[in-house]
Amino acid sequence: MSFNDNLLIVIAASAIFYGTPLVFAALGEILAERSGVINLGVEGMMLLGAVSAAWVATNVDGPAGVVLPLALLAAMIAAGMGAAIHAFLTITLRVNQIISGLALTIFAGAAGLSSYLANIWNLGQAPIVNQFNRLDVLGLADMPLLGPILFHQTLLTYLSWSLVIGASFYLFRTRAGLHLRSVGESPQTADSVGISVAGYRYFHVILGGTFAGIAGACFSLSIVPTWADGLTSGQGWIALALVIFGFWRPDLMLVGAYLFGALSSLGFTLQARGVGISLAVLSALPYAMTIIVLVLVSTSSARRHLGAPAALGKPYEREER
Amino acid sequence: MGITTRRRSFRKAGIVALSLVAVLGLFASACSSSDDSSSSGGITKAAWIYVGPINDGGWTTAHNAGREFAAKELGAKVKTTFKESIPEGPEAAQVIDGLVKDGNTIIFATSYGYKQQMQDAAAKYPNVKFEQATGDDITTGKAGLPTNYNEYWGAGEDTLYLSGVAAGNASKKGVIGIVAPFPIPEVIRHINAFTLGAQSVNPAATVKVVWTKSWFNPTLERQAAESLVSSGVDALFSHQDGPAAGEVAKAGNLPWVGYDSDQSGSYSSVWLTTATYNWGPYYLAKINASSDGTWKADNYYGTIADNFTSLAPFGTLVSGATKSSIDSQLALAKSGGAKSFGWFWGLQDRLDQDGAVKIKKGTSLTQKDLYTMSYFVKGVDGSAKG
């Protein structure tokens, strides 16, 4: 065994690989929630993205450089359409955001539209040929320590890193980001200075949805890689928890995503090395950690302190001003 | 928010919920499928309960092919229905109730975890025949089983022993990783048989077992396979309903034995072989028996000689010498007689992980021995308790 088969390096490398869909999904949800709209439809949107990407990758012939971007685009469009429904219901019709988001996940989710589409499209019969494989960046994949962790990931991981950097810059260093945060904090104030509350909310809910679509495509184009009903297996819910876990900040969320990613395969890695530990305990850990964080931030003063957008979950009605 | 607006948003929530229910209802009716819509007299209605989706590329795909075979052979004489991705446990009872209400007179449940619900239903509906795949209660003599409840399964361990021969020859280090679902006797005896097969060509061969606690979850299967590869195995066997471990094998260019479906096409560069099951003739026979009144609970255990279990086509990694050695053992098993079933268990003293003799040289195992096997043989690295 080489140095890079060291337990900690293996865990770190797989944390990033399996944390990548969480990064996309949670980043999208951060953008939506920063605008004041909570979207519990992440799991459903991920499955819509996964099934659309699988359809394109199965049915479009061509080199990977053409097929994969098309598949990602399809995933973004499909999940973005799901998000647009949520945006219309919650922003224009001012339906309760929790109910609309849950409806989206149930409607699009594992026993709904995504498996129905997969059935009529006859997906899942064979593995997808064009996949996002792990790359050997700059020939450094075998470099001790950092090679497997930083230079042996898929293109999706590098895309997620650039989006996290971009989103952090956008949120905290640009005028539009400032406007976005003000819409989420105090829509009345934002409205009074001429910022379009509905416009910002629509844009960021739908943009967040497209990110969830990429998260779903991570499964059907890279992790699994084929279609299987419910293949995201609840990762959308973990992503929702991650938003709180990361206090609505992309950089902290990234850390949380990799922590959860590490836990997802830690049980197997320990089993394979003869360390007896209950798989049930390990797979429950992310949820237990989430509950602890939720309890810690449950008081409204703590939430304010930790950065929850003040208007999160509240529909905005102009005439109430 | 004023009281009127609050009431209005509640009303909207109600509309959303109602339309959701309506849409889901449409999908539910679209998803349950049947082959034939005619329903006059003389038609047997047969139903299947699947643990995975029909496109899992393994276990459920094979059962569904069996259903399609029976439906095709019987034509208008049968109306078949299936329910896919049904969770094991109490939820299955409702699915069974629904299938009985729809007039199905023979129901096949294709995963171990349905057996309690199937037995309960058999007691409740004495005129319906209940067929439980991979069940072990008749063999182990469970008291009070209804007479309209049967169990059926096949000697997959025989073909997995031969797959182990292929893997033992293909692994250079003699360390093979196994991605395994649940620590139940069926899986334990399969792992033991596979290990003994590998040791028949490389006495020093060992296997490492990682449990996924799932029949079909591609992400977990992949993670388990990756963890085995990073711990130093140089060949893989995945006892799962899907081929996700094949991706890991392909990425690491490691020889791979799948389970219950031929993946030689999609994974030609790493494929060895595996045990496959041919369910169709059994389903055909039992539907016929139930319509002409000759059905009985026969606790069926299919073998290589029955053509119930067979080996998937060999991949290119299997050498000519290995092929001919496996083929000659397969031919002996096919010829019937004493060598047709479980011939390998008593070839020599078989020890468990602690070195205690569990099977004496020259003895053969009964179906009950097989169905209650709860120990790993020497050379298995992992816990038989999961």
Amino acid, single-letter form, for residue A219: F
User: What is the token pair recorded at A60?
Assistant: 């479009």
Residue A126 has pLDDT above 90, yes or no: no
Q: pLDDT for A17-33, tens place per residue?
A: 999 999 999 999 999 99
The confidence band for B361, taking pLDDT boundaries of 50, 70 and 90, is very high
Per the listing, tokens 């629509």 go with A202
Instruction: Note whether B207 and B321 are same-domain residues.
Output: yes
Residue B21 forms part of a structural domain: no
Residue B355 forms part of a structural domain: yes
Task: List, as ranges, residues 79-118 from B with C-beta within 8 Å of A.
Answer: 85
pLDDT score for B21: 52
Partner-chain contact A224 B382, CB within 8 Å:
no
Instruction: Note whether B137 and B255 are same-domain residues.
Output: no
Mean pLDDT, rounded, of chain B: 88
A3-320 in CATH: which number?
1.10.3470
Between A289 and A165, residue with greater pLDDT? A165
Q: pLDDT for B264-312, tens place per residue?
A: 888 999 999 999 999 999 999 999 999 999 999 999 999 999 899 999 9
Partner-chain contact B13 A95, CB within 8 Å:
yes
- Alpha helices by DSSP H, listed for chain B, are 3-31, 59-74, 91-101, 115-124, 156-170, 185-201, 218-230, 244-252, 280-292, 320-334, 367-371
Rounded Cα–Cα distance for residues A66 and A47 (Å): 22
Instruction: Note whether B63 and B139 are same-domain residues.
Output: yes
Say whether B250 sits in a helix, a strand or coil.
Answer: helix
A72-78 average pLDDT score: 98
Strands B44-49 and B78-83: parallel
Q: pLDDT for A32-56, tens place per residue?
A: 999 999 999 999 999 999 999 999 9
List CB contacts of B218: < 8 A, sequence separation 6 or more: A223, A224, A226, A228, A231, B242, B244
Distance of CA A70 to the CA centre of its chain: 19
CA-closest candidate to residue B277, choices B184, B182, B165, B155: B155
Instruction: Note whether B369 and B262 are same-domain residues.
Output: yes
Residue B36 forms part of a structural domain: no
> How many interchain CB pairs under 8 A, A with B?
134
Instruction: Note whether B337 and B357 are same-domain residues.
Output: yes
Sequence length of chain A is 321
Q: pLDDT for B172-194, tens place per residue?
A: 999 999 999 999 999 999 999 99
Residue B370 forms part of a structural domain: yes
Range of the domain at B198: 156-276+313-381
The total of structural domains in chain B comes to: 2
Which sequence spans correspond to the domains of chain A?
Answer: 3-320
Question: Which one of A125, A264, A272 has the shortest CB-CB distance to B55?
Answer: A125
- Centre a 10 Å sphere on the Cβ of residue A305 and count the other Cβ atoms it contains: 11
Closest-approach residue (CA) in chain A for B246: A127
pLDDT score for A319: 66
Instruction: Note whether B355 and B215 are same-domain residues.
Output: yes
Mean pLDDT, rounded, of chain A: 90
The confidence band for A90, taking pLDDT boundaries of 50, 70 and 90, is very high
Question: Which one of B27, B208, B213 has the shortest CB-CB distance to A272?
Answer: B208
Kindly provide the ipTM of the predicted complex, given to two decimals: 0.86
List CB contacts of A92: < 8 A, sequence separation 6 or more: A198
CATH of the domain at B372: 3.40.50.2300
Q: pLDDT for A180-205, tens place per residue?
A: 999 999 999 999 999 999 999 999 99
Out of A137-146, A247-256, B102-111, which region has the weakest mean confidence (pLDDT)? A137-146
Instruction: Note whether B181 and B117 are same-domain residues.
Output: no
Residue B153 has pLDDT above 50, yes or no: yes
Test mutation, A2, A55, A188, A226, chain B, max B CBs within 10 A: A226
> Min CA distance, B124 vs chain A (Å)?
29
Instruction: Note whether B229 and B358 are same-domain residues.
Output: yes
Residue B373 forms part of a structural domain: yes
pLDDT score for B386: 77
Instruction: Note whether B234 and B340 are same-domain residues.
Output: yes
Instruction: Note whether B94 and B238 are same-domain residues.
Output: no
User: What is the token pair recorded at B284?
Assistant: 């055909």
Q: pLDDT for B110-140, tens place per residue?
A: 999 999 999 999 999 999 999 999 999 999 9
Instruction: Note whether B188 and B253 are same-domain residues.
Output: yes
Residue B126 forms part of a structural domain: yes
Residue B18 has pLDDT above 60, yes or no: no
